[in-house]
Amino acid sequence: MFEFDIQASAGRARVASFTTPRGRVTTPMFMPVGTQGTVKGISPDELHAVGSQMILGNTYHLMLRPGEAMVAAHGGLPGFTAYPGPFLTDSGGFQVMSLGHMRRITEEGVVFKSHLDGSLINLTPERSIQVQEALGADIIMAFDECPPYPATTEYVKASLERTVRWLERCLNVKSRQDQALFPIIQGGTDETLRALSLELTLPVDPHGFAIGGLAVGEPKTEMFPAVAFSTAGLPENKPRYLMGVGHPEDLVAGIALGVDMFDCVYPTRTGRFGYALTDQGRINMNSSAPRTQLQPIDESCDCYACRHYTRAYLAHLVRAEEMLGPRMLSLHNLRYLHRLTERARDAISNGTFHSWARAWADGYFKNGVPEWFSQALHTGETAA
């Protein structure tokens, strides 16, 4: 269980399979986010059809409503959500902090105000693991602090050292052997602090690692060097999960740097806002051009929306505020990201990854390929 087998590589990029209790997944992969026990508007059958492999559930939301006991009464998230495949849950910490409901953070844990009824709730490493064991995902995350950007060096250092102490407490209470616990490498964009986090975390020897503390407002010119530094310091034979990152260009750059797993609300959120992802960038379905276009969003896409509907029809649905519009755009966007990872995997296997990634970027970036992207590809290609 939790075996990670690398089948092909190109520089730091690799294709691998990871075995979980609910099935084997192929990486690099993108994981849709099911915040409240549902990927917004998308049924389990549809997730299967677009090629989703593993779904992310949010501990913070589910512990508040309906409560982890009700999820456990269904045998965990697969029974509760009727999605029979693998799941990953976050620790709850990031959402407490990012949603701004946090009241105080101490050595013990965090105290936050419920966004539902205003009550004060304690979330500790022990409580996070207890909730995640009840939710029953295949991969669970260590309870950590993700410091805001920017933060002082002193703060990030103190925070990551506390995260390491919290990791020890998570491991002490973890009781289920059928869940892999991933610790989270922190340290912001500072290489000295990333190195310290790696040094303190590697001895735990878990089934996989997460790279956290990024995509919190820092520029990509700082984020991707921190990703590169992190993947270079992690063992080859374990999966690497870059948390909360999932724009198309981030996937391609992350894959080049040796990242195996990604998650983000982006494809479904931007779909609800009326945007469709393509190899030529985003199409704004609220703009005037699509209203008269009789072609699908993407001729090469095999999703239900692209096989059945014109851009004009989808733009009409969006303007008329019909619920099928955001649903179909979300479906297409998920398929786009899954297909992007499939294409990357094929290119890695064929030995064409870097030329494929450069050709993709030439079409995708309308105003020229940015330096951070070229640098990420270069680093991934030359520093294997």
Shortest distance, CB of residue 101 to Zn ion, whole angstroms? 36
- Does 306 sit near Zn ion (CB under 5 A)? yes
Binding segment for Zn ion (CB under 5 A), chosen from 7-15, 34-42, 255-263, 330-338, is 330-338
Residue placing its CB nearer to Zn ion in the complex, 196 or 303: 303
Determine the Cα angle at 242 with ends 239 and 47, to 5°: 85
- Residues in the interface with Zn ion (CB under 5 A) total 4
- Using the minimum distance from each CB to Zn ion, give the nearer residue, 188 or 267: 267
Stretch of residues binding Zn ion (CB under 5 A), selected from 82-90, 128-136, 260-268, 305-313: 305-313
Q: How far is the CB of 183 from Zn ion (least distance, A)?
A: 36
Our CB check for Zn ion shows the closer of 161 and 279 to be 279
C-beta closer to Zn ion: residue 127 or 338: 338
CB atoms within 10 A of CB 366: 7
Smallest separation, CB 272 to Zn ion (Å) = 16
Q: Which residues of 207-226 are buried (b: 16+ CB within 10 A; e: fewer)?
A: bbbbbbbbbbebebeebbbb
Binding pattern to Zn ion, positions 9-48, x when CB under 5 A? ----------------------------------------
Q: Which of 261, 303, 315, 329 binds Zn ion (CB under 5 A)?
A: 303
Indicate if 90 belongs to the active site.
yes
Q: Residue 277 or 347: which CB sits closer to Zn ion?
A: 277
Angle, vertex CA 282, rays to CA 97 and CA 368, nearest 5: 100
Which of the following is catalytic: 90, 250, 260, 298? 90
- Cβ 301 to Zn ion, closest distance in Å? 3
For the segment 332-361, give every residue that binds Zn ion (CB under 5 A).
Answer: 332
What CA–CA distances, in Å, run from 301 to 67, 90, 105, 333, 337? 38, 31, 46, 10, 11
**156 lies in the binding site for Zn ion (CB under 5 A):** no
Nearer to Zn ion, 46 or 126 (CB): 46
- The region of 188-196, 241-249, 310-318, 329-337 touching Zn ion under the rule CB under 5 A is 329-337
Catalytic entry in 5, 263, 298, 302: 263
Largest CA distance in the chain: 60
Instruction: List all residues 6 or more positions away from 381 whose beta carbon is below 8 Å from its beta carbon.
Output: 10, 11, 12, 256, 354
> Please, are residues 224 and 378 in contact by the beta-carbon 8 Å criterion?
no
The 187-226 contact track toward Zn ion, x by CB under 5 A, reads: ----------------------------------------
Residues 273-302 that bind Zn ion (CB under 5 A): 301
Cβ–Cβ < 8 Å for 145, 163: yes
Mark whether 178 is an active-site residue.
no
Least distance (Å) from Zn ion to the CB of residue 254?
Answer: 22
50 makes contact with Zn ion (CB under 5 A): no
Q: How far apart are CA 181 and CA 25, in angstroms?
A: 17
Please say which residue, 238 or 332, places its beta carbon nearer to Zn ion: 332
Shortest CB 298 distance to Zn ion, Å: 5
- Write out the catalytic residue numbers: 90, 263
Q: Which residues bind Zn ion (CB under 5 A)?
A: 301, 303, 306, 332
